[in-house]
Amino acid sequence: MSAPDFFQQDHAAIEAALEKLLPAESTPPASIHRAMRYSVFAGGKRIRPILCYETAKLFDSDASAAIQVGCALEFIHTYSLIHDDLPALDNDDLRRGKATNHKVFGEAIAILAGDALLTLAFQTLANSAIEPARRVRVISEIAAAAGTVNGMVGGQVADIEAEKKPTDAAMLEYIHRSKTAALICGSIVAGALAGGAADEDVERLRRFGGQIGWAFQVVDDILDVSESSAALGKTAGKDQAQQKATYPALYGLEKSRAIANDLEAKALRELDVYGVRATRLRQLAQFLVARRN
Amino acid sequence: MSAPDFFQQDHAAIEAALEKLLPAESTPPASIHRAMRYSVFAGGKRIRPILCYETAKLFDSDASAAIQVGCALEFIHTYSLIHDDLPALDNDDLRRGKATNHKVFGEAIAILAGDALLTLAFQTLANSAIEPARRVRVISEIAAAAGTVNGMVGGQVADIEAEKKPTDAAMLEYIHRSKTAALICGSIVAGALAGGAADEDVERLRRFGGQIGWAFQVVDDILDVSESSAALGKTAGKDQAQQKATYPALYGLEKSRAIANDLEAKALRELDVYGVRATRLRQLAQFLVARRN
């Protein structure tokens, strides 16, 4: 499933920007650029770039610089998937219905393609058309969101360490907020900064982003249990097979859905102050919780 | 071997800054921070940070911001070693006389520790005390130097692809300039920018850095053939065993030494215009070519 219809225009703008920012397949060494492009163009929904762009548009009707920031976020998301699928980590053969990067290009190139996408993300941010003092804030926010202290890599480590062990609510919250919510929240905060938002708005959108990002991962847990591999485009039921720490495992399906809905409601309340200006961002948040894959 | 005695003060300042920038081992999740610290404090010579700092001091007697930039460069260098040592890449058990990261922490944590150090590098740069318009230039330069197009990851890929194949002089030059010289050159260019150098000086130091970085890798090739594992702190003779593309393999030892010396001489000529101000940078360049490990 792609983003909802009303985001097709955002989606097209992001695809075009990704195409321009990635080195051509013919640029030497060709194998690494083929591998990077393979995973970036494997059918991602572009949720983080769209969130970034739509948040920026709350404050700036043009917001084209937020498209560049969004591409950097997509590079980071893609690198994390490539490394997460490696045999030493989740050992997954299938991602978005296609063979994973290391199955096609081998482990060495997959590791380096992930490294290269992470590096290209920061190069893209450094070269983005945002006023320099704001640009360094964007870079700092995104690096923190992707890092080890309450960030994506920290969440991945905690996730691995929690496998096959009893997990309490606090640890589960830490894992989900770090592993997934941090970068989604970072996408929204970066969009606000790129759009020129005042500090008060940046902090309000940080609260929105933290809650909607957390809800997003709770929904991911639910879908892993309730949907088929065909619907998801990746191996369903893997969390249970790997004894991952998930919301359905700790709370059951019904309570997990209630938690996701509650987080969504809290997130949406943060947008009230923006009235109809935030209609698209609101629709996007609702899509993230209602999605089926 | 550590840096020469006259750089002990730089070395101490860099160690102290690295210590402050890395999360404590007790910060959760502890395992990733232990792994990051293990490799950062495994006895590196801190060549890139010292080059960055000494270059900045050509233009700014304080240059303390260049220490932060130098730490970011050391994080990038360390991440590249951790990933390079992985079983899927060089499969090395020994680095600087100690067990490699994945031998101690396992492959999953080693992959993530590399990712985390690369991310922390850009966070460190984004938060460094350089005027924002220069700070984004520093970030862009370093990201390019670490990337795929004439940068470090591109060089690593070309290096892997050149194994067990006949290599010509042009390909060998491409590999060495990308794999190693790019980040050394980037350290020098970043130092010049951090120190407030004019564009003309930045470009002059880019030429210096490109040549001394290239010479550095030619010397590395020579040492792999001519020194013992004990002297190197890593497995000697590995290039030949893996049929890597090296200068001694293509030109023989004597010609390789002549090439390194010629590059060193060209590099040093770029510093002539700075007279005695560049004495320390000159000594450092000479050390990089004369080193025995």
Smallest CA–CA distance from B159 into chain A, residue:
A29
Averaged in consecutive runs of 10 residues, what is the pLDDT profile of chain A (293 residues)? 70 97 96 98 95 97 95 98 97 92 98 98 98 98 98 96 87 95 98 98 98 96 87 79 90 96 98 97 95 83
Which among A23, A89, A123 is the nearest to B108, CB-wise? A89
**Inter-chain touch B29–A161, beta carbons under 8 Å:** yes
CA distance A74 to chain B (A): 15
Chain B residues inside the 8 Å CB shell of A88: 106-108, 111
Pairing of strands B94-95, A94-95: unpaired
CA distance B121 to chain A (A): 9
Chain A residues inside the 8 Å CB shell of B114: 115
The pLDDT of residue B4: 62
B248 — pLDDT class (breaks 50, 70, 90): very high
Instruction: Tokens 């081992």: give the residue.
Output: B25
Instruction: Tokens 């890395």: give the residue.
Output: B22
- DSSP element (H, E) containing A249: helix A247-251
**Inter-chain touch B108–A144, beta carbons under 8 Å:** no
**Inter-chain touch B112–A83, beta carbons under 8 Å:** yes
Indicate if the pLDDT at residue B1 is higher than 50. no
Which among A123, A135, A157 is the nearest to B29, CB-wise? A157
The answer to which of A13-17, A211-215, B68-72, B238-242 has the lowest mean pLDDT is: B238-242
B220 — pLDDT class (breaks 50, 70, 90): very high
**Inter-chain touch A126–B136, beta carbons under 8 Å:** yes
**Inter-chain touch A107–B88, beta carbons under 8 Å:** yes
B230 — pLDDT class (breaks 50, 70, 90): confident
Q: What is the ipTM of this complex?
A: 0.96
- DSSP element (H, E) containing B99: strand B98-99
**Inter-chain touch A126–B107, beta carbons under 8 Å:** no
Chain A residues inside the 8 Å CB shell of B119: 118, 143, 146-148, 151, 153
B62: three-class secondary structure by DSSP: coil
Which among A116, A135, A160 is the nearest to B153, CB-wise? A116
Which among A118, A126, A148 is the nearest to B33, CB-wise? A148
Encode burial over A187-205: b for 16+ CB neighbours within 10 A, e otherwise: bbbbbbbbbebeeebbebb
Chain A residues inside the 8 Å CB shell of B36: 148
**Inter-chain touch B132–A136, beta carbons under 8 Å:** yes
| Whole-prediction pTM | 0.96
CA distance B26 to chain A (A): 11
Neighbouring residues of B225: CB distance < 8 A, sequence distance ≥ 6: B236, B237, B239, B240, B246, B248, B253
Encode burial over B5-34: b for 16+ CB neighbours within 10 A, e otherwise: eebeebbebbbebbeebbbeeeebbebbbb
CA distance A127 to chain B (A): 7
The runs of H, that is alpha helices, within chain A are 8-21, 30-40, 47-57, 64-84, 101-105, 107-126, 132-146, 152-162, 169-176, 182-194, 199-226, 229-232, 238-241, 247-251, 253-270, 279-290
Which among A86, A132, A147 is the nearest to B136, CB-wise? A132
Segments of chain A assigned E as strands? 94-95, 98-99
**Inter-chain touch A120–B143, beta carbons under 8 Å:** yes
Chain A residues inside the 8 Å CB shell of B136: 126-127, 132, 135-136, 139
**Inter-chain touch A111–B83, beta carbons under 8 Å:** yes
Across B244-270, average pLDDT? 95
Indicate if the pLDDT at residue B80 is higher than 90. yes
- Angstrom distance (rounded) from CA A254 to CA B81: 47
CA distance B269 to chain A (A): 31
Chain B residues inside the 8 Å CB shell of A171: none
CA distance B10 to chain A (A): 26
- Angstrom distance (rounded) from CA B226 to CA B54: 30
- Angstrom distance (rounded) from CA B12 to CA B6: 11
The pLDDT of residue A239: 86
The pLDDT of residue A179: 95
Which among A32, A151, A157 is the nearest to B31, CB-wise? A157
**Inter-chain touch B125–A139, beta carbons under 8 Å:** yes
- DSSP element (H, E) containing B121: helix B107-126
**Inter-chain touch A115–B120, beta carbons under 8 Å:** no
Is residue B200 within 8 Å of B208, Cβ to Cβ? no
Give B160-197 pLDDT, tens digit per residue: 998 888 889 999 999 999 999 999 999 999 999 999 99
